[in-house]
Chain A
Amino acid sequence: MKTNKTKTDYDVMVVGAGVAGMETASSLGNMGYKVLLVDKKPSIGGRAILLSKVFPTLDCASCIVTPKMAASAHHPNIDVKIYTEVDGITRNADGSFSVDLHQKSAYVDIDACTGCGTCEEVCTVTVPDEYNYNLVTRRVAHIPFPQAVPKKAVIDRRGEAPCIHTCPASVKASGYISLVRAGRYKEAFNLHLENAPLVGCLARSCYAPCEEDCTRCGKEETVHIRGIKRFFSDHYYDEHPEPEYGPVENQLATKVAIVGSGPAGLSAAFYLARKGHQVTIFEAEIQPGGMLRTGIPAYRLPNEVVDRDIKNVTALGVQIKCNTRVESAAKLKEEGFDAVFVATGASDENRLGVEGEELEGVMGCMKFLRETKIGIAPNIRGKTVMVVGGGNSAMDPARSAIRMGAQRVIICYRRSQDEMPAHDWEIQGAIEEGVELMLLTTPKRFIGNNGKLEGVECLKMKLGEPDASGRRRPVIVEGSETVIPIDLAILAIGLKPSTTGFVDEMDHERGLLTSDPETLQTRDPAIFAGGDCVTNPTMIVNAIGQGRRAAFYIDRHLKGESLDVEFESLLEKTDKDVVLEESKNFRSRPPVLQPTMPLEERRRTFECYERVMSEEEARKEAHRCMNCGECSQCMECVNNCPAFCIDFNLRDAAKSFTVGSVVMSTGFEILDPGSKKALNYANFPDVVDGAQMDRLLAPTRPYNSVLRPSDGKEPENIAFVLCNGSRDHTICNPLCCRIGCMYAVKQAQLAMGALPLADVTIYYIDVRAFGKGYDEFYEQSKAMGVAFTKGKVARIEKLDNGNMEVYYEDMEGVGGMKKAEHDLVVLTVGFLPNTDAFRLYKGGELAGNEFNYVREIDPISEPGRTSVDGLFAAGAIIGARDIPDTVLHAGAAASQVSAYLETTRN
């Protein structure tokens, strides 16, 4: 190793690990310099490793490039950092450079990954395969290509799917959707359990905030996420009336008490029992389930579903003690519990505070719903019912009253319909079923006879100025009193926390218990509180999220671990505009209509009115998902990886180094042949470009043979068309690509080898065979029978038989426009500069040439030197070139680097 006089982290950083980068790095490494070799892709090797064979020797590209890949990867003086982006390079006064990088997360423990490819096989999301130039697909969990170095898996994630990001319990909606799309229903159910154990309840009565944020809303309408969940949860429960598991093997001695068996309590119990703690739930009601059992009407959530969901929890050994009201967490601690989670919910009813509220026939909505669900509600057949309130909790009793045979059901709300807090679909459902809305109306008093309600005196309201909530304040219209005969009035005017007793020993704000919003721990470290008794009434899924969070921190508390850790780390939400833009030309996919019970039937029964989708409908609906996050988080890779190396908590890592010098070897870009419209590359699958043809000819080709992409037929008559977008002033690219002629000759020879009966024609302007052995190579192809037609191809059209007609200007013979039929057309396309170097060098101006390639200051005597002293360029970054020229140039650049390092250090 050379002495590192300036004490930099590395003597040189080489950016881009294609042929040029690997060659420069290896040469410098061999000279004893310490090299940092960086590439943004997940494998080194650049473009050359994807080639079939190389001209003019027809050596296999792998045989040429793989040894270089191995030499760089295993060189003691070279540190390879793949999947790493350079963020900036600046030059220091002493001639060294400061570089900022970030290593992108592959979500895989690179050291543990064995490259077995299992993750790829089980992955449920498919995308175009850029390593096969989009001729086939690959999975988002993937090993880039068979010869990749390192041969490690990478998972594409561009953000958190909006449906997951919005869900208060972070349920992996896009994950279970992609599992349903792939026909893996049991896996979908098990994935759901990881975030929320009450799958059936959520499938029927979650307010589904995910659907409101679904990217598909920007096209037709949301993916019906809850409907898909309903399908797989019903499917699973039909096949599994009992859970498939029992208590975990590793039982701990720690005892946890949970007060309340609503969604928060049940969910905390589930995740704590999974960790092995001994969990007891105390429930005041006669049956467990909290609001799920007593608050949500059966037409939205039948008790059998609640029971089956609860089995998911009790199967783990959780004890539920019903009929046991608890009002002190401290007492539970005294009884020997090591931790307590208070999850008593918010089901105590607010009062309206008007005359007559105590009359028989005036009741709170929770009482009414509870009595309805357990079958002891007052008989209201043929009666008139008024529900006071405009929230979702008003819709449930109103729609229940319709089902109970009430003759007239009125919702009385003091603002207008626009201000009603209930979901639109709930309001519409109620109206459809016959509920009347009496808007801008409020009860003044309840009128009774012999202690029994007979009517409600109401006042008209009008809307005034907006209040603190932004909604317009209702103002009484004086003298507008009217009396409406009513048999039953149900007050749905809000709920308050059920925290009697606890407020005497715990911090609270007007009855709402106070706990740390992150850890849910209260002032007493062993007591935690969460769910509606802390948040006020929200949603089932919110309470479930709180329960899982509480379990996470209670477990840590019981194990004596710090609570100063993040509960779960989500990526940023995916930018929906990006997803919508990439799919803007996709076919429309109208939603599968949610099957529902006919209206008349619905009005008469408490049976669920939403019917479950069929398997075909569920898969069709799942197919509408746009894979917003790329990886859907179905967790199939995590669950199947034999080396347990996939970790979605891994994150990008920023790194900064000082280096003695920098070599940019970021190669070139390939021009999009679609820009030459008349050639119809974008329209005809059998018009391919040179890079795709190299893949078709490579031993690791995407198909089983050399086949045409339109229908998998072996081509019989192949055309190679040279100089498309090179030497072309119409698209401002006057440069010769320098390799098109020779690789077309190479591909023509390989095609003749693979398809001995095929005719091959090369359309050329002139053939440039300038290197050692190139002319002989060209002559050899003629001798093999390749036809050379001197003619500029103007356009390509498609014939009814599926073949292409190539129109060309005849440049020899009689001239004029001619045409010829072919069944596969290969376009050799021009190259473009990779301009990354100009962006990455932030220390001043890095000079480019007139074609925007990095400019060599003196290409003849100092190859590789750029306008920035100490920053060099190697390979095709200074102009497209073939592999021999690239290797030569890289060697020259390495010598220049060495000279620079020796000068700056002496």
Chain B
Amino acid sequence: MNTAPTAPRSMLELAQDEMIMKDRIAAVLREKHRTIPEIAEILGYPTNEITVWLFGMRRYGEVEEVGRPDVDGYFKYEWKDKKAEEAAAEEN
């Protein structure tokens, strides 16, 4: 059965959400490594929106993929504690 098309939210609108959403995504990934559909399920947002925010975070090193994709083709992502890493780097 075909579903009627509805336009996703624009990139500009999603971009404006990123600063709020990245903390929520970080909280979910801090618990354990997760795929985009898993994060979307927990946070109650569409997967395409999570994709935008997650890769916005990845761009600045806040998340990273783990290993190879699962059988369904999805990577899992982990949260990177940048502050802790920076502090460790300073100590060394």
Contacts and interface: CB of A to CB of B under 8 A. Distances in A.
Interface of B: 1-3, 5-20, 23, 35-37, 40, 47-48, 50-56, 58-60, 64-65, 69, 72-75
A712 B74 contact: yes
Interface residues of A, number: 48
Contact of B9 (A178, A587, A702, A707): A587
Interface in A713-736: 713-716
B23 A710 contact: no
Contacts of B10: 585-586
B52 A137 contact: yes
Given A710-B48, A711-B37, A712-B35, A182 B5 contact: no
B77 to A, nearest CB: 9
Given A137-B56, A623-B17, A623-B20, A128 B75 contact: no
Contacts of B15: 126-128, 137
A627 interface: yes
Interface in A125-143: 126-128, 134-138
A586 B9 contact: yes
Given A627-B16, A705-B75, A714 B69 contact: yes
A582 interface: yes
A840 interface: no
B28 to A, nearest CB: 15
Interface stretch (A284-292, A321-329, A370-378, A798-806): A798-806
A516 B85 CA distance: 54
Contact of B19 (A126, A716, A798): A126
Of all A-B residue pairs in the complex, the 9 with the closest CB atoms, nearest first, are A711-B47, A683-B5, A128-B11, A712-B36, A714-B73, A126-B18, A713-B73, A137-B56, A685-B48
B73 A716 contact: yes
Contacts, number: 120
Interface string A727-755: 00000000000000000000000000000
A712 B36 CA distance: 6
A713 B9 contact: no
A798 B20 CA distance: 30
A134 B9 CA distance: 13
A134 B13 CA distance: 12
Interface in A10-26: none
A126 B56 contact: yes
Given A134-B11, A137-B11, A121 B60 contact: yes
Contact of A805 (B2, B18, B35): B2
A620 B53 CA distance: 17
A181 interface: yes
A158 to B, nearest CB: 13
Given A136-B59, A586-B10, A711-B37, A182 B69 contact: no
A66 interface: no
B5 A680 contact: yes
Interface string A623-642: 10011000000000000000
Contacts of A128: 11-12, 15
Given A128-B12, A583-B13, A713 B74 contact: yes
13 contacts: A135-B55, A137-B15, A137-B56, A138-B59, A585-B13, A626-B16, A627-B16, A683-B6, A710-B47, A710-B48, A713-B69, A713-B74, A799-B2
A120 B19 contact: no
A799 to B, nearest CB: 7
A559 B53 CA distance: 50
Interface string A769-811: 0000000000000000000000000000111100001000000
Q: Which of B2, B3, B16, B58 has the most CB of A within 10 A?
A: B16
Q: Which of B1, B17, B37, B48 has the most CB of A within 10 A?
A: B48
